Amino acid sequence: MVQRAHDPGAGLWSLPGGRVEPGESDEAALARELLEETGLTVRVGPLIGTVERPAPNGIYLIFDYSCETLGGTLRAGDDAADAAWVDAATFFALDGAGSLTTQLADTLREWGVLPG
């Protein structure tokens, strides 16, 4: 997980990700964003789920994929204040403290992919 360094949600913990650049596939964007935000190289797997969130000028469409770590060293990158591997106890402690981005725990629960 990454702790966001900038708004929206500065200071809150979330899944790493970012924008898809023109002409870029979701898979290429995800691999690039994960490397930039976490220092990890990944193999992008299947789509886990999608959500819509309000944005200043419309709606963000968010596509979350399963990934396999191939290499690198976990670190906070360009848009992250911190990065960490989070087990179930830590995830639920962050949730209980109000330190996760809006609806993250509910969405992961709905998709059946909460840390275990």
Domains in the chain, CATH or no CATH each: 2-86 (3.90.79.10)
Confidence of residue 110 (pLDDT cuts 50, 70, 90): very high
Confidence of residue 79 (pLDDT cuts 50, 70, 90): confident
- Residue 76's pLDDT is 97
pLDDT at 116 over 80: no
Long-range contacts of 47-55 (CB under 8 A, 24+ apart): 48/111, 48/113, 49/107, 49/110, 49/111, 49/113, 51/103, 51/107, 53/102, 53/103
**pTM score of the predicted model:** 0.91
Per-chain mean pLDDT for the chain: 94
Confidence of residue 13 (pLDDT cuts 50, 70, 90): very high
